[in-house]
Structure 1
Amino acid sequence: MKRKFTLLLALSLAMLILVTGCGSKESAEKSNEPAEKQKDTFKVGMECGYAPFNWTQMDDSNGAVKIDGTAEYAGGYDVEIAKRLAEGLGKELVIVKTEWDGLVPALTSGKIDAIIAGMSPTAERKQTIDFSDNYYKSDLVMVVKKGSKYENATSIHDFKGAKVTAQLNTFHYSVIKQIDGVLQQPAMDNFPAMRVALESGVIDGYVSERPEGVSASAANPNFAMVEFEEGFTTTDDDTAIAVGLAKGSELTEQINKILAGISEDERKAIMDTAIKNQPAAK
């Protein structure tokens, strides 16, 4: 009986070890799957709320890309650039909708691989992240109500006494103090919020870049874009737009090579198409 019991116990232990070993192998294989899939994706963070650079829509029309984890899609200039980069890298593009203030933390924590969100490579940001070569460059403008006394302004100083704001944590907000006598208002979280504030008269204008100004005035007939003869003092990095990347990222060199293959004429055509395809302002 003792022999039979010992034999049965040995067989049971052997089976247990075998099953446990298989389970461990399966678990290991499963744990490796996300890592393997991760290597095949290019996760890009953007607000999806800064037309014509990026916006949110409800279908895949005009080449929009599904936003990760939602039923929505992202379109715009940044999306088209991201698509070209993903193709050149041989990876699947994944759009991760992220609030502006969360973009750099998302990049440094590894949640995303790149920021393609109309972001300027300012000296302050370069302390935390790296940037690719520029993929767009534009001038600063002011968006105002059509018919207001500011519509025909030619100098930033024509906005003396005006209630002016810009997006939080952008260089747009920092240049407002260059306007003599301006009533600088608290910075706002995003461009849709600023458009609502302008429409309702809470502000007289907000600082933006030319593509967004064209977009805003095209989407809302009550808005006008003011371009200046005597404008803001800025650096080249302030008005340029580049891809944000983690410090020392191996993607930087590859992305610069891909960007070098996109001509200025093609970039202009992509932006013109984005402005044409942008959804109406809400």
Structure 2
Amino acid sequence: MKKRIFALLLVSIMVLSLLAGCASKAETPETSGTEKKVFRVGMECSYAPFNWTQKDDSNGAVPIMDSSDYAYGYDVEMAKRIAEANGWALEVYKIDWDGLILALNANKIDAIIAGMGVTEERQKSVDFSEYYWSGDMVMIVNVDSPYASATSLEDFRGTKVTSQLNTVWMDLIPQIPEVDEKPGLGGNSEILVAVRSGKLDGTILGETEAYSAVLANPDLAVVKFEEGKGFDYSKGEASNAVAVRKGDSETLEAINKVLSSFSAEDRSALMEKIIKMQPILE
């Protein structure tokens, strides 16, 4: 009889232990549904004022995955706001420009927020959000160059020009009359060195990037053309949007909802603040 009672007690203890274990397991984040979705964003982290690399988390910079460095800039602020509004955990990945769309479509990242313009060619590979920034297309020359006072593309006839590989700026170069087009280069810093050294008479950049570059390089000047005398381009090519995988409507809708909540004034104020913070101005 005693053995029977002991056996029943033992079974009861085991059952209670199992129930307690199940209860405690049910309360963990992994099973309670409290885990945040991870929002993986790719960018160059070398394209101020939109994105850059720095050594610490000052000014709200976020860690770059698989690195001891941090990323900040206008694109990072956009990524942070999108993630926070949706309750997502943000991860930033540093990826070369040419590899961004490849990484997105290989599911290594969920979105590209990298100052990317909207072109028909890119729309074949990715879906784009609403624009989160827009500007003009301008040229950068040496401040003492005869082209610094140019007012039209005709003034650049026969000049040596190039820009960053695989960008909308490269596609605009043939619009310059009799242009001496040079091979595209890898990034803005390399291109600006070529302009300063005289290897190039000028380069094409977006207006925001150009004025940002001139703030850091006072020996350079921005050439903004008179209306109707500059480059011919679509609004999408001169604007920046978030890229997501084709058919990822859920992520796209969540991003657009956040972007639509920011007015043009809010975006301009943020960009002005970011330009003053970029490390190349220190």
Give the SS at the match of 1:151. helix
Please report the RMSD computed on the Cα atoms of aligned residues, expressed in angstroms.
1.7
Q: Does 1:228 align with 2:225?
A: yes
Structure 1 alignment gaps of length 5 or more: 1-32
Rounded to whole Å, the distance in 2 between the matches of 1:231 and 1:110 is 39
Q: Does 1:266 align with 2:281?
A: no
Rounded to whole Å, the distance in 1 between the matches of 2:51 and 2:62 is 11
Closer/same/farther in 2, CA of residues 180 and 281 from structure 1, 3 Å limit: farther
Letter in 2 for 1:130: D
Q: 1:209 corresponds to which residue?
A: 206
Give the SS at the match of 2:205. strand
Structure 2 alignment gaps of length 5 or more: 1-29
Q: 1:276 corresponds to which residue?
A: 276
Closer/same/farther in 2, CA of residues 245 and 272 from structure 1, 3 Å limit: same
Give the SS at the match of 1:83. helix
Is residue 219–residue 279 contact of structure 1 (8 Å, CA) maintained in 2?
Answer: no
Letter in 2 for 1:261: S
What is the CA deviation profile of residues 192-236 of structure 1, one whole-angstrom value per residue up to 9, with x for unaligned ones? 111221222221111000111011100011111111111100012
Rounded to whole Å, the distance in 1 between the matches of 2:208 and 2:169 is 14
Q: Does 1:240 align with 2:224?
A: no
Closer/same/farther in 2, CA of residues 129 and 37 from structure 1, 3 Å limit: farther
Q: Does 1:108 align with 2:105?
A: yes
Indicate which of 197, 208, 212 corresponds to 1:200.
197
Provide runs of 4+ in structure 1 moved above 2 Å: 36-40
Q: Does 1:133 align with 2:138?
A: no
Closer/same/farther in 2, CA of residues 204 and 38 from structure 1, 3 Å limit: farther
Report the count of equivalent residues.
Answer: 248
Tell me the CA shift for residue 39 of structure 1: 5.9
Rounded to whole Å, the distance in 1 between the matches of 2:120 and 2:73 is 26
Tell me the CA shift for residue 104 of structure 1: 0.1
TM-score (norm 2): 0.84
Give the SS at the match of 2:46. coil
Is residue 64–residue 91 contact of structure 2 (8 Å, CA) maintained in 1?
Answer: yes
Rounded to whole Å, the distance in 1 between the matches of 2:176 and 2:87 is 47
Equivalences for residues 69-88 of structure 1 within 5 A: 69-88=66-85
Rounded to whole Å, the distance in 2 between the matches of 1:50 and 1:183 is 26
Give the SS at the match of 1:238. coil
Rounded to whole Å, the distance in 2 between the matches of 1:121 and 1:251 is 18
Give the SS at the match of 1:193. helix
Of all paired residues, the percent bearing the same amino acid is 49
TM-score (norm 1): 0.84
Closer/same/farther in 2, CA of residues 281 and 99 from structure 1, 3 Å limit: farther
What is the CA deviation profile of residues 128-154 of structure 1, one whole-angstrom value per residue up to 9, with x for unaligned ones? 110111111110011111111111111
Rounded to whole Å, the distance in 1 between the matches of 2:125 and 2:104 is 10
Rounded to whole Å, the distance in 1 between the matches of 2:192 and 2:70 is 22
Is residue 141–residue 208 contact of structure 1 (8 Å, CA) maintained in 2?
Answer: yes
